[in-house]
Structures are given as structure tokens and as C-alpha cells.
Amino acid sequence: MSDFLHLLMCPNCKKTHLKDEKKALVCTSCGSEYPKTGNVAWLFENPKGEIADWQNRYHLFVDMTGLEVQKLKFDSQSPNISGKTKDRLLRLIQAKTEHSREVARILKPMDVKEEDGPKSESLVGGTELPSTQSLMGYYQNVCRDWSYGDQENAICLEKVEEVLKEDKVLRNMGVIGSGACRLAFDIHRKLKPSNTINTDINPYLLLVASRLIQGKSVSLYDFPIAPINLESTAVKLKCKAPEILSENFHYCLADGMNPVFAKQSLDSLLTPWLIDIVPQDLQLQALRYNHCLKDSGRWVNFGSLSFYHNDQKICYSIDEALEIVENSGFKIEAYSHDDIPYLHSPYSCQKRTEKVLTFSARKVESKEPPAEEFTFLPDWLTNTSQPVPRADKLNQQHMVHSMLGNVFSLVDDKNSIEDIAEAATFLKLPKDNAVAVIKNVLTKFFNDHQKGNQF
């Protein structure tokens, strides 16, 4: 693992003094340790906190899957369902149960256990983040990368090769947002860079990729939203890499918004399906990528431009995005903007198309990166020793959750909504008004449950 460590910097002291000590990377300058899960290093300022956070996300996944299986078992016993419907529900029960076990097997190096019981605290405090950053947020991409067939993967590689033109020498290539690593794998296999360093924030994705690329197989289930028939409701997939990569293909868990690549260390940088989904302004991203690349190094981007930020001024069109790249010390040598198939499961009725922006941009000028590291959270959330301010919204949430807890404590299989309203003196409302409030609360719970969401 040590043959590429000179390309990385310590997330704490920012020096390039990392040493491989078998179970961890250690900074010989500041003494910080970065544990390894298998051959995947955790390069975060607070790696133990990140590991604990992802363990909580795993427990949340287990809890939610368990609740889903319980509901399926209950529904399968209904006297009002047909034989085929019962077959489908039983198929889902088996698949969801096996799926949970397989996820536990993949994450076992993180010290998570299949038999870990439900942890209600994960439902309360745990892991409030965008669905794309949940443990299974990109699960279907894993299926696409390693099981759906080679059509989509071949198209992605072809688009990258087109913008590289005749100069396909990549040397030391960093990847930010590698996901399950298929595009990086195909580039490494075909173009043979000296090193490929994959970084992502999600341990499940990198651990799956690591197993497959070492020659091990992984069994996954495809759960299409619109299956083509009953058998396609849950399909067991055998995932396997077409070739083993045993050298110069590396994995690090790291924050892509503050890259761990050292100043002017990389010859090339790949950002696959990244620049539009992260919360950081593309203008700041581009400056950080410039900082990582050597003079004349190349930034290769591949992915859609579907910005969904609340702030409209950073939801860029393709023209703006290309302008930002060139204003950040790059010269765009080639780009394309093409429709490609996306996540075409052979077991689904749905076939989606994405228009992707692929470009190769040469670094022609060094630019200073942003002075401050990027975070979209306030200091009291990133530094857990700081006092939490008593904001008005927090007080409102406290009142709301207290009220909900009191209402739910009156639900006992006996009380009607009117009974609950009469007992709910804490609402300090006339009975008719209390009935309306409680009916709205329980209606929201019912609707969210029907959608499969948490309350």
C-alpha cells in the first residue's frame, strides 16, 4: 500500500508523511492514525467518529429492513390476497433477509455483526443525511457496475477515451467519488495508469469494489421498482469483476469536498457522477482540484449536470460549468454532452436515459484553493465539545416532539381518536380542535408509513 502514499496528505496536519503500519496509516509528522478496514484506509480528520457514524447507518439499515420484513410477513398472512401475491411477498421476505445478511458480511471488517439487535437510537438520533449518502444510497449502481452486463460500462469508458483523444497517458490518477469503482476499474485496466487512488465517503461501496476486484464474488439482490414479472420482484445477482487487479489500484475513504491528495501530486484526476450532486459550489470544487494537479495535469469529468441545490445561483447550466472550469486555471481540450443509458436493469420495465457531460481539461495555471475547508454544518455540529445554541427552531422542535410523544403514549389498541383527544389535556384545546390535531398527526403517520418513510 505504501507505493502511493506520497500522493496523499494527512487530513490533520496536511503534510505528506503517511506511513503504512499494517492496521492503520500513521502520520509520522503529527502522529495521527487512520485505521484500515481490510485494505481501505479511513482518511478523515476524525476517523473513529466516521467509523461510528457509518456503524450507526448500518444499524439504521438493519432496523428498517427488519421492520419491512415484519410488515411483509404480516401481509403474507392476510386472507384477502391471491396465491400469486403471497408468492411475491414470500419471495421478498427471503430476499430482504438474505440481503441484510450479505450487507453484514461485506461490512464485517467494520466490526458490525449480522446478529446485532435493533438499535432504536439509530432511528431517533441516527444519520440524518440525504438519501444519496445513506448506506444503500447507490446500491443499484453497484448492481449496474458489476452485474447488469457491459453495455453501460463500455459506453462510459468510450466517452472518457473520446475526450482524452490521442494522449491517454494518465500516470498517477486520483478519483474523487469512485462509488463502486467500475469506471475507474475499466480505465485502469485499459489505459494502465501508474496508480489509481479511489476515494469515496461510503464504506459499503468501496468494500464491495475491493472484494470484487480482488477476485471474490458477491451476491446481491436487485429489487426493481417496476419488475417485468413476479420472478423479477427480487432477483439474486452474482457479481464478479472481469479481471483481478492486484497492483496499483488503491482505496481510501475520504471527504471529496476537501480532497486528501497532496498539492500538485496528481497527473490526472477523475470525477465520475460527482460535481452536480455534492453540496459544494462548483467554483470551489474546481479550485480544489486545480490544487491537487501538477502543472499540465488533467481533470477528467464524467456525469450528469442535474444540480438540485436550494441556492439557485449554484445550479449551473453546461455553459456556466464549462466557463467555471476555464476560469479555475484549466483549458478544456475536449468535451461531449451525450445521452447514454442509465441503470438499465434487465429485470425492470423502466429504462432511464441521462445526458452526461464528459470533458478533459488541462491545468494551465495554478490557482489558490479556498482558505477554509468546506463544511455545510455549523461549528457546534462539527466540534462536538462546543455548546449547542438554543435556537428558536430547536425550541419549536422540542415542543413538537414532546407533543407527539404524549399523543403516541395514549395509543394503546383501545383508545379512539376521540378518547385520545379527551385525554390530551396537554394540548390545551377544545375537544373538537384536539380531535382535528390528533387526526392530522395520525394521518401523516399513516401516509408516511404507506410510502415506506420514517415518521
pTM for this model (two decimals): 0.85
What would the grid cell of residue 455 be? 415518521
Q: Please check the confidence at residue 74 and state whether its pLDDT lies above 70.
A: yes
Considering the chain, what is the average pLDDT of its residues? 91
Q: Please check the confidence at residue 263 and state whether its pLDDT lies above 50.
A: yes
Is-contact 352 346, C-beta < 8 A? no
Is-contact 169 234, C-beta < 8 A? no
Tell me which of 445 and 113 has the higher pLDDT: 445
When mean pLDDT is compared across 58-67, 237-246, 372-381, 444-453, the lowest value belongs to 444-453
- Length of the chain equals 455
Q: Please check the confidence at residue 122 and state whether its pLDDT lies above 70.
A: no
Q: Please check the confidence at residue 304 and state whether its pLDDT lies above 80.
A: yes
392 band by pLDDT with thresholds 50, 70 and 90: confident
Q: Please check the confidence at residue 133 and state whether its pLDDT lies above 80.
A: no
H or E stretch including 148?
A: none
Would you state the pLDDT for residue 112? 64
Would you state the pLDDT for residue 382? 72
Burial of 384 (0-12, 13-18, 19+ CB in 10 A): exposed
When mean pLDDT is compared across 254-268, 307-321, 327-341, 370-384, the lowest value belongs to 370-384
Distance between CA atoms of 162 and 358, rounded to whole angstroms?
9
Q: Please check the confidence at residue 130 and state whether its pLDDT lies above 90.
A: no
123 band by pLDDT with thresholds 50, 70 and 90: very low
Q: What is the mean pLDDT of residues 31-52?
A: 95
Would you state the pLDDT for residue 117? 43
Would you state the pLDDT for residue 1? 54
Would you state the pLDDT for residue 121? 42
Q: Please check the confidence at residue 391 and state whether its pLDDT lies above 80.
A: no
Nearest C-alpha neighbor of 204 from the set 116, 140, 120, 151: 140
Percent of the chain having pLDDT more than 70? 93
Distance between CA atoms of 258 and 285, rounded to whole angstroms?
9
